[in-house]
Amino acid sequence: RKETVLVDKDEHPRPDTTVEKLAALRPAFTPDGTVTAGNASGINDGAAAVVVTSGKKAEEMGVQPLASIRAYASAGVAPRVMGLGPIPATRNVLAKSGLSLDEIDLIEANEAFAAQSVAVGRELGWDWERVNVNGGAIALGHPIGASGARILVTLLHEMKRRQAKRGLATLCIGGGQGIAMVVESVN
């Protein structure tokens, strides 16, 4: 293209959205389903960067890490329930880290759909006051391919802002996978 495109507002919110328009949206997956484009994360542009290195290398470079990785895990579920992958992934990472959910200060979780997020949170017993405290993918958008890094970067900066000790980042992945990571503040 030879034209200049000015991006001066977020692409996800739709100012003409009304309750009536949301109620009229067709279900996405089954004729009698409840998931619609109105309660699913929007596909957005986005970027995030994460540098992973050893503590020794960070010290050599004069870089102050935001956190250290305590544990990470992935898991799989049947593809037809792909959004539930964070459940076994989170259970696995908590077991690997030797921590309970009560010892996690903040949680950043991808919310592909409202129903999916609620199902995962209920099954894991989340304290919703600690989950996606700045909004999740339904509010912020879902930059496919960058969502994992976006979730982790958001978590790390919020941990720093709140002086939180531990955080959990988790997300579902198409095809039935889930991934989770526990990080700890190094400050």
Domain containing residue 151: CATH number = 3.40.47.10
**Sole residue written with tokens 């921590």:** 99
Confidence of residue 74 (pLDDT cuts 50, 70, 90): very high
pTM of the predicted model as reported, rounded to 2 decimal places: 0.86
Length of the chain counted residue by residue? 187
* Owning domain of residue 172: 55-185
Residue 149's Cβ-count burial label (10 Å; 0-12, 13-18, 19+) is middle
13: tokens are 């919110």
Q: Which residues contact 134 (CB under 8 A, 6 or more apart)?
A: 140, 154, 158
Instruction: For residue 45, tell me if it sits in a domain.
Output: no
If you average pLDDT over every residue of the chain, what do you get?
92
| DSSP 8-class letter at 142 | B
pLDDT mean over 177-181: 97
Residue 8 domain-assigned (yes or no): no
Please report whether residue 148 resides in a domain. Answer: yes
| Cα–Cα dist 55/68, whole Å | 8
d(CA 182, CA 187): 16
pLDDT of residue 84: 96
pLDDT of 98-134, one tens digit each?
A: 999 999 999 999 998 889 999 999 999 999 999 999 9
Does residue 116 belong to any structural domain of this protein?
A: yes
Please indicate, yes or no, if residue 179 is contained in any of the structural domains: yes
What would the DSSP string read from start to end of 49-63?
A: ------HHHHHHHT-
> What is the number of structural domains in the chain?
1
pLDDT at 1 (0 to 100): 62
